[in-house]
């Protein structure tokens, strides 16, 4: 019997026993669709999270003031990325002049030097018309920080160099702050005067010149949105904090197309020169490569766990295929006996049932890929990071489906091939 005839007989058998065929397919469909859907959602999750991290400046460098007594092992133990582990004397902090000089020293290699990550203050905010106060985080920033955060104005404008140079008492606030203070009315917020009181009791006022758009995605493992924040020009920091244009750390963004490692080395050499006469403090360069590597490792672990679950699902599906095929062999005992009496060889019988099992596996794989792909794409679109099922995953799933049919179909097929034709014809 040719392969084409075996396929024809297999399809005829499946059509004549639709319910049995459906039950046989079901296990494979569930297993394959689960794997494809989870892999697709995992890819979307990874893409979304990495994009969130990139938007938050995860690839930026951080120049951080540290004590000269801090050794390499202590630095490895620090888990507060971007914050200073020591109280730094005001005179030893990174000054505004250093920031300006750094940008002038490496034009074309540094896209920006952000002031703001180390200039955060907790406090409360209120308006003259509002009874009570709301918690908020104040960031004293420069325009590079605003650019690096990729902020866009929803109404009004963002902070400008004129605001910085003129030491203007202006602020740009977040959508959540607008919700807290102005019931979500952006237009009501624009031009309003707000009072900020720090946790140590210092107070100052600002005029709202803009509300920025919420740009952080709601998908992924990392979410930097939904915070009550106000950004103010960094010179105003001196009015509510013991700071005067100097910071524990600044963020350095390498220009596109530059080598991050080389930029890191050059910035380190720059600060080494600035602090060569400081016997107590130095500046160390940090990046987030380790944090990113740790994140990728976690994703790999999750993927392996999910793959294991998918493998178990497919194993169960394969056992289901074998069980149904055994039932099929029993039900078709007389048919097998007739075929053998007419001259069919053991190999022909074996091929017929193996092909039937492989067709079941392949059909289940195709339906599973379509169903799982649809679930994955819908889910990824809801996450805000639409992705297609990976081609490699689809091909592996289809080949695996064929393998399930071959592996779990061989035993029933071999059992059918070994039936004695006389006993088979007598079977009722």
pLDDT tens digits for 12-44? 767 777 777 777 778 788 878 888 888 888 788
Tokens of 221: 């493992």
Q: Which of 94-98, 365-369, 412-416 has the lowest mean pLDDT?
A: 412-416
Of all residues in the chain, what percent carry a pLDDT higher than 90?
29
Return d(Cα 196, Cα 214) in angstroms, integer. Answer: 22
Residues 35 and 143 in one domain: no
Which tokens hold the place of 333? 């005992």
H or E stretch at 262: helix 260-274
Round to whole Å and give the CA distance between 250 and 377.
Answer: 40
Residue 131: inside a domain, yes or no? yes
pLDDT at 390: 84
What pLDDT band is residue 284 in, cutting at 50, 70 and 90?
very high
Strand partners, 186: none
> Does residue 300 form part of some domain?
yes
Q: Count how many Cα atoms sit within 13 Å of the Cα of residue 359 in the half-sphere of its side chain.
A: 21
Residue 382 within any structural domain of the chain: yes
Q: Which residues contact 230 (CB under 8 A, 6 or more apart)?
A: 125, 136, 137, 138, 139, 171, 172, 173, 174, 177, 194, 196, 206
Radius of gyration of the CA atoms of the chain, in A:
33
Q: Are residue 144 and residue 231 in the same domain, yes or no?
A: yes
pLDDT at 411: 81
User: Are 301 and 415 within one domain?
Assistant: yes
List of residues 6+ apart from 29 with CB closer than 8 A:
317, 364, 367, 368, 371
Q: Are 412 and 301 in a shared domain?
A: yes
Domain count for the chain, please give it: 3
Pairing type for strands 281-286 and 170-173 reads unpaired
Containing structural domain, residue 81: 60-108+254-287
pLDDT score of 138: 92
Q: Which residues contact 204 (CB under 8 A, 6 or more apart)?
A: 169, 195, 196, 236, 239, 240
207 and 128 in a single domain? The answer is yes
- Token readout for 160 is 């400008």
Do 301 and 398 lie in a common domain?
yes
Share of the chain above pLDDT 70, in %: 83
Q: Which of 165, 166, 131, 160 is nearest to 147 (CA)?
A: 160
Whether 271 has a pLDDT exceeding 80, the answer reads: yes
In a domain, 247, yes or no: no
Give, to the nearest 10 degrees, the angle between helix 289-331 and helix 391-417.
Answer: 30
Does residue 124 lie in a domain region?
Answer: yes
Cβ contact 375:388 at 8 Å: no
* pLDDT for res 143: 94
In this structure, are 232 and 273 located in the same domain?
Answer: no
d(CA 106, CA 5): 74
Q: Is the domain of 400 the same as that of 279?
A: no
Whether residues 276 and 234 share a domain: the answer is: no
Within this chain, do residues 148 and 216 fall inside the same structural domain, yes or no?
yes
Return the structure tokens found at 226. 């939904």
Instruction: Taking residues 156-172, report their average pLDDT.
Output: 95
Q: Which of 13-17, 173-177, 217-221 has the lowest mean pLDDT?
A: 217-221
Q: Looking at the structure, tell me whether residues 84 and 99 fall in a common domain.
A: yes
Q: Which residues partner with 123 through β-bridges?
A: 136, 198
The answer to whether position 248 is within a domain reads: no
Q: How does residue 394 score in pLDDT terms, banded at 50, 70 and 90? A: confident
Place of tokens 């910085």: 164
Grade residue 235 by pLDDT with cuts at 50, 70 and 90: very high
Q: Are residues 231 and 316 in the same domain?
A: no
> Is 113 inside a domain boundary?
no
Assess if residue 175 is contained within a domain: yes
Model confidence band, residue 72 (pLDDT cutoffs 50, 70, 90): low
Cβ-based neighbours of 313, under 8 Å, separated by 6 or more: 27, 30, 31, 34, 35
């Amino acid at each position: 019997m040719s392969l084409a005839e075996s396929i024809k007989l297999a399809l005829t058998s499946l059509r004549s026993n639709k319910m049995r065929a459906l039950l046989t397919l079901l296990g494979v469909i569930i297993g394959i669709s689960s794997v494809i859907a989870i892999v697709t959602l995992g890819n979307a999750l990874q893409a979304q999270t990495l994009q969130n991290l990139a938007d938050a400046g995860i690839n930026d460098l951080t120049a951080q003031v540290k004590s000269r007594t801090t050794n390499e092992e202590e630095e490895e133990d620090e888990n507060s990325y971007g914050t200073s582990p020591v109280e730094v004397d005001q005179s030893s902090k990174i000054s505004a002049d250093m920031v300006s000089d750094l940008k002038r020293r490496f034009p074309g290699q540094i896209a920006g030097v952000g002031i703001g990550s180390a200039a955060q203050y907790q406090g409360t905010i209120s308006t003259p018309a509002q009874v009570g106060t709301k918690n908020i985080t104040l960031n004293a920033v420069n325009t590079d920080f605003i650019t690096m955060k990729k902020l866009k104005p929803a109404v009004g404008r963002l902070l400008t160099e004129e605001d910085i140079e003129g030491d203007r008492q202006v602020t740009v606030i977040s959508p959540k702050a607008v919700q807290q203070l102005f019931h979500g009315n952006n237009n009501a917020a624009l031009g309003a005067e707000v009072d900020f009181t720090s946790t140590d009791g210092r107070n100052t006022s600002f005029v709202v010149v803009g509300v920025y758009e919420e740009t952080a995605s709601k998908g992924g493992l990392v979410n930097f949105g939904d915070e009550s924040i106000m950004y103010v020009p960094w010179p105003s920091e001196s009015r509510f904090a013991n700071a005067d244009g100097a910071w524990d750390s600044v963020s350095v963004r390498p220009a596109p197309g530059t080598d991050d490692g080389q930029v890191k080395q050059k910035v380190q050499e720059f600060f080494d020169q600035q602090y060569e006469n400081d016997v107590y403090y130095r500046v160390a360069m940090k990046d987030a490569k380790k944090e990113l590597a740790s994140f990728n490792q976690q994703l790999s672990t999750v993927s392996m766990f999910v793959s294991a679950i998918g493998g178990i699902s497919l194993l169960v599906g394969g056992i289901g295929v074998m069980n149904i095929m055994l039932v099929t062999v029993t039900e078709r005992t007389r048919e097998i006996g007739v075929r053998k009496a007419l001259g069919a060889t053991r190999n022909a019988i074996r091929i017929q049932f193996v092909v039937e099992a492989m067709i079941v596996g392949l059909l289940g794989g195709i339906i599973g890929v379509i169903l799982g792909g649809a679930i994955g794409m819908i889910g990824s679109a809801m996450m805000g990071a639409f992705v297609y099922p990976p081609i490699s995953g689809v091909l592996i799933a289809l080949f695996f489906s064929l393998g399930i049919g071959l592996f779990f179909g061989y035993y029933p097929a071999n059992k059918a091939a070994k039936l004695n034709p006389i006993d088979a014809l007598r079977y009722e």
